[in-house]
Chain A
Amino acid sequence: MATKLALKELIKQPTRLTPGHRLCAGCGASIIVRQVLMAIDDPVVITNATGCLEVATTIYPYTAWNVPWMHNAFENAASTISGIEAAYRALVRKGKIPDRNVKFIAFGGDGGTYDIGLQALSGAAERGHQFLYICYDNGAYMNTGIQRSSATPMGAHTTTSPAGKKIPGKQQFRKDLTAIMAAHGIPYVAQAAPSHWRDLMKKVRKAVNCGGPAFINVLSSCNRGWRHPTDDTIEITQLAVDTCYWPLYEVENGEWRLTYKPKEKKPVEEWLKRQGRFRHLFRPENRHIIDELQAEVDRRWERLLHLCGEA
Chain B
Amino acid sequence: MSKFEALTGNDAVATAMRQINPDVVAAYPITPQTSTVQKFSEFVADGLVDTEFVTVESEHSAMSACVGASAAGARVMTATSANGLALMWEIVYIAASNRLPIVMSLVNRALSAPINIHCDHSDVMGMRDSGWIILFSENAQEAYDNIIQAVRIAEHPDVLLPVAVCQDGFITSHGMERVEIYEDEDVRAFIGEYRPQWSILDVDHPKTYGPLDFYDYYYEHKRQQVEAMKNAHRVIQEVAEEFNRKFNRNYGLFEAYRLDDAEVAVVVVNSTAGTAKVVVDQLRAEGLKVGLLKPRVFRPFPAKELVDALRHLKAVAVMDRSISFGSMGNAGPLFLELAAAMALHGVHIPMADYVFGLGGRDILPSEIESVYRDMLRAAETGQVERMVTYLSVRE
A100 is an interface residue with CB less than 8 A from chain B: yes
Contacts across chains A and B counted by CB atoms under 8 Å: 162
Please encode chain A, from 28 to 64, with 1 for each CB lying within 8 Å of some chain B CB and 0 for all others.
Answer: 0000000000000001110100000011001111010
Min CB distance B219 to A, Å, is 12
CA–CA, A60 to B212, complex, Å? 6
If the complex has contacts A100-B203, A120-B61, are A59 and B68 also in contact, measured as CB distance less than 8 A?
A: no
With a cutoff of 8 Å between Cβ atoms, the chain A residues found around residue B58 in the complex are: 119-120, 123
Which stretch (A78-86, A186-194, A303-311) binds chain B?
A: A78-86
Most chain B Cβ neighbours within 10 Å, of A59, A79, A89, A127: A79
Most chain B Cβ neighbours within 10 Å, of A58, A83, A119: A83
Min CB distance B241 to A, Å, is 29
B64 and A72: CB pair below 8 A?
yes
Near B by CB (< 8 A), chain A positions 70-127 give: 70-73, 75-76, 79-91, 93-94, 96-97, 100, 102, 119-120, 122-124, 126-127
If the complex has contacts A69-B208, A70-B209, A83-B54, are A61 and B69 also in contact, measured as CB distance less than 8 A?
A: no
Min CB distance A57 to B, Å, is 9
Contact of B209 among A69, A75, A76, A91 (CB under 8 A): A69
Near A by CB (< 8 A), chain B positions 191-235 give: 199-203, 206-214, 216-217
A68 is an interface residue with CB less than 8 A from chain B: yes
With a cutoff of 8 Å between Cβ atoms, the chain B residues found around residue A54 in the complex are: 212
A66 is an interface residue with CB less than 8 A from chain B: yes
Contact of B51 among A70, A85, A90 (CB under 8 A): A90
With a cutoff of 8 Å between Cβ atoms, the chain B residues found around residue A47 in the complex are: 68
CA–CA, A277 to B51, complex, Å? 50
With a cutoff of 8 Å between Cβ atoms, the chain A residues found around residue B208 in the complex are: 58, 63, 65, 69-70
With a cutoff of 8 Å between Cβ atoms, the chain A residues found around residue B74 in the complex are: 86-87, 90-91
With a cutoff of 8 Å between Cβ atoms, the chain A residues found around residue B68 in the complex are: 47, 70, 72, 79-85, 87
Contact of B65 among A60, A65, A79, A122 (CB under 8 A): A79
If the complex has contacts A68-B201, A72-B64, A72-B210, are A94 and B50 also in contact, measured as CB distance less than 8 A?
A: yes
A25 is an interface residue with CB less than 8 A from chain B: no
A24 is an interface residue with CB less than 8 A from chain B: no
B376 is an interface residue with CB less than 8 A from chain A: no
Contact of B69 among A68, A69, A86, A124 (CB under 8 A): A86
Most chain A Cβ neighbours within 10 Å, of B74, B94, B199: B74
A5 is an interface residue with CB less than 8 A from chain B: no
CA–CA, A96 to B74, complex, Å? 10
B236 is an interface residue with CB less than 8 A from chain A: no
Near B by CB (< 8 A), chain A positions 126-141 give: 126-127
Contact of A59 among B26, B67, B214 (CB under 8 A): B214
If the complex has contacts A60-B217, A67-B203, A91-B73, are A123 and B91 also in contact, measured as CB distance less than 8 A?
A: no
CA–CA, A288 to B210, complex, Å? 46
Across the interface, name the chain B residue whose C-beta is closest to A97: B201
Min CB distance A116 to B, Å, is 10
Contact of B203 among A55, A94, A96, A102 (CB under 8 A): A102
Across the interface, name the chain A residue whose C-beta is closest to B209: A70
With a cutoff of 8 Å between Cβ atoms, the chain A residues found around residue B216 in the complex are: 60
With a cutoff of 8 Å between Cβ atoms, the chain A residues found around residue B55 in the complex are: 127
B54 and A86: CB pair below 8 A?
yes
A68 and B217: CB pair below 8 A?
no
B362 is an interface residue with CB less than 8 A from chain A: no
B307 is an interface residue with CB less than 8 A from chain A: no
CA–CA, A12 to B169, complex, Å? 59
A71 and B52: CB pair below 8 A?
no
If the complex has contacts A84-B69, A88-B72, A90-B24, are A79 and B50 also in contact, measured as CB distance less than 8 A?
A: no
If the complex has contacts A59-B214, A68-B206, are A73 and B64 also in contact, measured as CB distance less than 8 A?
A: yes
If the complex has contacts A65-B208, A86-B54, A93-B50, are A79 and B200 also in contact, measured as CB distance less than 8 A?
A: no
Near A by CB (< 8 A), chain B positions 13-33 give: 23-24, 26
With a cutoff of 8 Å between Cβ atoms, the chain A residues found around residue B23 in the complex are: 87, 90-91, 94, 96
Across the interface, name the chain A residue whose C-beta is closest to B218: A60
B209 and A90: CB pair below 8 A?
no
Across the interface, name the chain A residue whose C-beta is closest to B65: A83
With a cutoff of 8 Å between Cβ atoms, the chain B residues found around residue A45 in the complex are: 200-201, 203
With a cutoff of 8 Å between Cβ atoms, the chain A residues found around residue B90 in the complex are: 73
Near B by CB (< 8 A), chain A positions 173-209 give: none
Min CB distance A17 to B, Å, is 12
A83 and B24: CB pair below 8 A?
yes
CA–CA, A45 to B205, complex, Å? 11
If the complex has contacts A65-B206, A88-B72, are A120 and B64 also in contact, measured as CB distance less than 8 A?
A: yes
Given contacts A44-B203, A90-B74, 17 further A-B contacts (CB under 8 A): A45-B200, A47-B68, A58-B208, A58-B210, A60-B216, A70-B68, A71-B209, A73-B64, A76-B61, A79-B60, A80-B64, A81-B68, A83-B65, A86-B24, A87-B23, A88-B201, A127-B54
Which residues of B are in contact with A by a Cβ distance under 8 Å? 23-24, 26, 50-52, 54-58, 60-62, 64-74, 76, 90-91, 94, 199-203, 206-214, 216-217
> 13 A-B contacts, Cβ less than 8 Å apart?
A60-B217, A69-B206, A69-B208, A69-B209, A71-B209, A79-B56, A82-B54, A83-B66, A83-B68, A86-B26, A87-B69, A97-B199, A120-B60
Shortest 6 CB-CB contacts between residues of A and residues of B:
A83-B68, A123-B57, A83-B65, A87-B72, A79-B61, A58-B211
